[in-house]
């Protein structure tokens, strides 16, 4: 369980594929502290398991499902990723409940700068996610807890303050770029419950 409050931006050191498993090595300082082999870390919103702790950072392994469902397959050495360690009991919930189970990806359609802030429009690739997004509701984009500023059937928009632009990878987004999307877990449970009841 995560909160969508990014602790640091890590740098991809290596990406290596062996069979159907892809190993991802990330330079990290904050996320490395307290992380052991077997621990979970959110990497740009994707919950991954630590397979090695090195002096320079952490290593993870990704299977075909992760690569197919998320944008992590496009990572290359030198790329940046948002990192967050799991929420600890008694810790502050500064964002919203994030599982690290990405629902799908979206594509950045437009970025509008308004003085020091930015408005980002993201096209939803899977239209099935649209009912899980509501105005002023929570959404995680590349692991960052954000508020839906507006939406329609094909896309939604979020507003980013200067702090978010500075301390996450979202300040480096460009039109056409893929991002990981996780909708609010409460909405997913409500939708599932209604579907089971035939509502």
- Kindly list the distances between the CA atom of residue 122 and the CA atoms of 44, 108, 141, 150, 151, in Å, as whole numbers in the listed order: 16, 4, 10, 11, 9
The predicted structure's pLDDT at residue 185 = 77
Contact 171, 164 (CB under 8 A): yes
CATH no., domain 104-197: 2.40.30.20
The predicted structure's pLDDT at residue 89 = 66
pLDDT in tens, 30-60: 999 999 999 999 999 999 999 999 989 999 9
Domain spans of the chain, in order of start: 8-84, 104-197
Which residues of the chain are under the pLDDT cut of 50?
A: none
The predicted structure's pLDDT at residue 153 = 86
The predicted structure's pLDDT at residue 83 = 98
DSSP state for residue 21 in the 8-state scheme: E
Residue partners of 12: CB distance under 8 A and separation at least 6: 24, 25, 26, 27, 75, 76, 77, 78, 79, 80, 81
Helical (H) or strand (E) element with 85: none
- Class of 8-84 in CATH: mainly beta
The predicted structure's pLDDT at residue 96 = 76
């Amino acid at each position: 369980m995560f909160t969508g409050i990014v602790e640091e931006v890590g740098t991809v050191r290596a990406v290596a594929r062996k069979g159907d498993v892809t190993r991802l090595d990330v330079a990290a300082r904050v996320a490395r502290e307290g992380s052991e082999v077997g621990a979970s870390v959110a990497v740009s919103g994707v919950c991954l398991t630590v397979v090695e702790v090195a002096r320079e950072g952490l290593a993870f392994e990704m299977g075909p499902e992760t690569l197919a469902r998320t944008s992590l397959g496009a990572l290359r050495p030198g790329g940046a990723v948002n990192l967050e360690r799991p929420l600890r009991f008694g810790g502050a919930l500064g964002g919203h409940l994030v599982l690290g189970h990405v629902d799908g990806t979206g594509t950045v359609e437009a970025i509008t700068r308004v003085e020091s802030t930015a408005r980002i429009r993201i096209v939803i690739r899977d239209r099935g996610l649209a009912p899980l997004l509501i105005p002023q509701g929570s959404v995680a984009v590349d692991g960052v807890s954000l508020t839906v500023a507006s939406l329609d059937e094909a896309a939604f928009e979020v507003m980013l303050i200067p702090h978010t632009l500075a301390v996450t990878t979202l300040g480096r987004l460009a039109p056409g770029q893929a991002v990981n999307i996780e909708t609010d877990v409460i909405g997913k449970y409500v939708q599932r419950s209604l579907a089971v009841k035939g509502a």
